[in-house]
């Protein structure tokens, strides 16, 4: 099997795994939302507001976000010295996969 076919096979397996994971996860979220509707709505609105504040909401189907257009102009006394910029960038790179804390 040539390397391209191996990569395609691996990508297909990974896509199937991820699809199955997302289906089960989405169903679990629905069940939690039905069990705790008020708490779910509160958390959902917090996360939506956080995404909007951080410029991570999609602007169009390409996945463009406000951060794509950010030219890093200091606002509200932000310190953009090399050390603080690196620290800030590292904090943004840490993701919270699946929304678990």
pLDDT of 87 > 80? The answer is no
Q: In this predicted structure, which of 33-37, 39-43, 59-63 has the lowest mean pLDDT?
A: 59-63
Q: Mean pLDDT across the chain, nearest whole number?
A: 79
pLDDT tens, residue by residue, 21-37: 999 999 999 999 999 99
Three-state secondary structure of the chain: CCHHHHHHHHHHHHHHHHHHHHHHHHHHHHHHHHHCHHHHHHHHHHHHHHHHHHCCCECCCCCCEHHHHCCCCCCCCCCCCHHHHHHHHHHHHCCCHHHCC
């Amino acid at each position: 099997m040539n390397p391209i076919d191996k990569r395609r096979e691996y990508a297909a397996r990974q896509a199937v795994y991820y699809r199955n994971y997302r289906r089960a996860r989405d169903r679990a979220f629905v069940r939690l939302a039905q069990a705790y509707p008020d708490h779910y709505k509160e958390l959902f609105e917090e996360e939506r507001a956080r995404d909007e504040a951080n410029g991570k909401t999609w602007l169009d189907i390409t996945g463009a976000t406000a951060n794509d257009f950010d030219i890093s102009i200091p606002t509200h006394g932000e310190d953009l010295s090399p050390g603080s910029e690196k620290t800030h960038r590292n904090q943004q790179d840490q993701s919270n996969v699946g929304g678990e804390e």
